[in-house]
Structure formats: structure tokens, C-alpha cells
Amino acid sequence: MPRPFTTEDYRARIARAAADAAAAGLAGLVVAPGPDLVYLCGYQPTAITERLTALVLGAGREPALIVPKLERPDAERAAGAPAVRLLDWTDGEDPYATAVPLLDPAGRYGISDNTWAMHLLGLQGALPGTGFTSLTASLPMLRAVKDTDELERLAAAGGAADAAYRGILEVSFAGRRETDVAADLGALLIQYGHSQVDFTVVGSGPNGANPHHEAGDRVIRPGDTVVLDFGGLKDGYGSDTTRTVHVGADVPDEVRKVHDVVRTAQQTAFEAVRPGVTCQEIDRIARRVITEAGYDEYFIHRTGHGIGITTHEPPYLVEGEEQPLVPGMCFSIEPGIYLPGRFGVRIEDIVTVTANGGRRFNNTPHDLGIVS
């Protein structure tokens, strides 16, 4: 088990978030239940409902967590609770009135992206002079740079996903449905310590050409190329890895060739990771390898996404993202080639930026795995 996060950890995160908000010209942040709230105070209500829960913070103000009265005991148990002032409201009261004294009536606030529209509208109604902007748009890197404890969790999640991949190479594919192999993958992730499975993509044959095909009733056949992309949360942090396998050792030349191109694109992009290189440059490097091999029109998504408390978050490795890489950032590098109606190939590792370059959290072989 990793070291649990402490009240001091949350206090430091809240202070940094308030300082980052001020530096971005914001009066503060309003954070509803979801990954940002978990990150800032370790609190996740049992159910996210129409009852308002919100953390309000700003430079020079005591951070406050508004909770429904009946959920106050739950909130008090969160590790970050001592770092905030708890305010409750009772059913029948106007929860937005509770928020009014906490917000600058003329200030502009970053509000977490998953805040329900009814809550944002309620706050706007109660505070007509206050402005709100998307937290991801205004402070996209709030959770992007991971500290040592977070890196340890992400490395452990990656190691567990790798163990799941080694396990899936031992099961039989031919004659079974994609959903059967997906169930095996999910069970392996749990067996290796995940508390939550977020996705188990099993894209066999032509289904592999759809990058987000989950898994369906198709019966896997000898000679199929199969994309396996799976991940979830372990100790609160995400895993996400992709390997492409072939059913039987008789691999067609084009599958071999496409796989080599994707593997080279992934490796070349990985080797380019170092502080100061922009996110879009990593995307361009992966894309250049695929373009030079003649497959540019078949690489139909960005090269990668950040990972942390969630499995998809900033930074995004995509054309137009000029954010430079910073030590501690963690993201996927996952180029792919998708040939419609035929097959797909993707190779994905989670990578972190260190002072000297990239470090992988997924370390299973990149060669085309052979399954039976």
C-alpha cells in the first residue's frame, strides 16, 4: 500500500491551486465533486446528486467546503477535511445562499468542468456579478505535474496493467467472443490490485480499425489481429496500456509492416520526451514516422493524453498544444494505424517526464504478441 495522502498534502495542494488561480487572474476556484475535489481535499461523496457540494478557494481566503448537512459526517472523515472550513446547508434551504459570502461578487472563478449545469446556473443567479470560466480552460495543468507519491501510484498501476497483459497472453482467443477476452482482462486488472476497471478494448480483425471499439459479440478467429487497450484505477491512480496481438504465428506481411511502423513511431516519440519539448512536438514526431511510411490518413487521433486521478486528462499530446513538458507530467504515447474493414494496430505506454528524458510505466515487450 502506498503512503496515504495526509491533511498536510491537501493543505499544500489547496494553497498551490489558490496561488495558481491568482496567477491566472482568477479570484479563486469553485470545485464540485469529481477528480478535482478528490485531488484537492480527498473527498468524494458516496453519490453525486442534485444536492450542492462545492469547495470554494481563493488566495487570502480560508478554503471552504459546502456540503449538504446529511453528508457532513462523510465529509468530515475525508483526509483533507481539517484543511478546509466545512459549511453545511439543510434540505429546504437555498444552497447557493450558503455560497454567496464565500465568493467575490465581482470576481471571476474557475469552476470544475464536471460541475452540474444546475449548480453553475444557481451560483450565477445568486451572484449575478461573478464570472465563471472552465477550470480546464483556465488552469489546464492544475493536476498535470505529479509529485513523488503520485508517481509511485502511477508506476504501480502501470505495473499491474503489465501483469494483466502477461496474463492475457496465456488465455485462448480463437473461438471466443471479444467480450469473453474483455472479461478476462477486467478480472486480471482486479486480480493485480485495481479497484476499478475503466475500459477493456478488444478490437479483433476489422473491429480493431475503430480505436474506441470496446468489445462485442464477434467471435475471434485464427489469423485475426487484435487490439487490446485496458486500464482503470489502482489506489486512486490510473493505468492505460495498449498492445496488439495476432492469433497464431502466421502473421501476414502487411500486419507485420504496420506493426513495425507503429512501434517505431511510439519509440521515436518516447525518445523525444524531455523537459521543455512541447506536447505538440511529441505528436508531430510520432505522426512523422507514420506519414513517412505512407499511413498518415490512418492515424486518426492525437498521440496521447495525461493520466492521474482520471485516465484521460491534460496535458493532451495534440497539434496546437504548446504546453512544454515539465518533469512529473504523466501521459500516454499511443500512436496507431487503423485500416477500415481490415485491422488496427496501436501501442500505448504511460510515460513520465524526468529531468533527463522519459520513463515508462508500462514495460511489456512492444513486439506483436502471438496468442492462440
* Cβ-based neighbours of 39, under 8 Å, separated by 6 or more: 13, 142, 143, 308, 309
Q: For the CB of residue 229, give the shortest distance to Zn ion in the complex, in Å.
A: 4
Task: Give whichever of 132 and 316 is closer to Zn ion, judged by the CB atom.
Answer: 316
Q: For the CB of residue 356, give the shortest distance to Zn ion in the complex, in Å.
A: 24
Compute how many other C-beta atoms are within 10 angstroms of the C-beta atom of residue 239: 30
How far is it, in rounded angstroms, from Cα 309 to Cα 272?
25
CB-based contact 266:287 (threshold 8 Å): no
Does residue 283 belong to the site contacting Zn ion (CB under 5 A)? no
How far is it, in rounded angstroms, from Cα 351 to Cα 328?
10
Q: How many residues lie near Zn ion (CB under 5 A)?
A: 5
Task: Give whichever of 180 and 229 is closer to Zn ion, judged by the CB atom.
Answer: 229
- Reply yes or no: is the peptide bond before residue 315 cis, omega within 30 of 0: yes
Task: Give whichever of 9 and 240 is closer to Zn ion, judged by the CB atom.
Answer: 240
Map the footprint of Zn ion across residues 296-355, applying CB under 5 A: 332, 348
Q: For the CB of residue 313, give the shortest distance to Zn ion in the complex, in Å.
A: 11
Map the footprint of Zn ion across residues 193-212, applying CB under 5 A: none
Task: Give whichever of 9 and 162 is closer to Zn ion, judged by the CB atom.
Answer: 162
Q: How far is CA 74 from CA 9, 68, 262, 320, in A?
A: 19, 10, 47, 42
How far is it, in rounded angstroms, from Cα 318 to Cα 304?
7
Q: For the CB of residue 306, give the shortest distance to Zn ion in the complex, in Å.
A: 10
How far is it, in rounded angstroms, from Cα 294 to Cα 284?
15
Which single residue is written with the C-alpha cell 470496446?
214
Numbers of helices and strands, H then E, in the chain: 10, 18
Backbone angles phi, psi at 146, to 5 degrees: -90, 145
Task: Give whichever of 229 and 321 is closer to Zn ion, judged by the CB atom.
Answer: 229
Segment interacting with Zn ion (CB under 5 A) among 13-21, 156-164, 176-184, 235-243: 235-243
Segment interacting with Zn ion (CB under 5 A) among 67-75, 90-98, 151-159, 236-244: 236-244
Which single residue is written with the C-alpha cell 481539517?
82
Map the footprint of Zn ion across residues 239-258, applying CB under 5 A: 240, 242
Q: For the CB of residue 259, give the shortest distance to Zn ion in the complex, in Å.
A: 17
Segment interacting with Zn ion (CB under 5 A) among 82-90, 226-234, 245-253, 286-294: 226-234
Q: For the CB of residue 242, give the shortest distance to Zn ion in the complex, in Å.
A: 5
Does residue 229 belong to the site contacting Zn ion (CB under 5 A)? yes
Q: Sort strands 330-333 and 349-354 into parallel, antiparallel or unpaired.
A: antiparallel
Compute how many other C-beta atoms are within 10 angstroms of the C-beta atom of residue 78: 22
Task: Give whichever of 33 and 308 is closer to Zn ion, judged by the CB atom.
Answer: 308
Segment interacting with Zn ion (CB under 5 A) among 36-44, 50-58, 168-176, 225-233: 225-233
Angle at Cα 12 formed by Cα 8 and Cα 18, nearest 5°?
145
Q: For the CB of residue 240, give the shortest distance to Zn ion in the complex, in Å.
A: 4
How far is it, in rounded angstroms, from Cα 111 to Cα 133?
6
Task: Give whichever of 216 and 252 is closer to Zn ion, judged by the CB atom.
Answer: 216
Task: Give whichever of 283 and 348 is closer to Zn ion, judged by the CB atom.
Answer: 348
Q: For the CB of residue 303, give the shortest distance to Zn ion in the complex, in Å.
A: 10
Contact residues for Zn ion, defined by CB under 5 A: 229, 240, 242, 332, 348
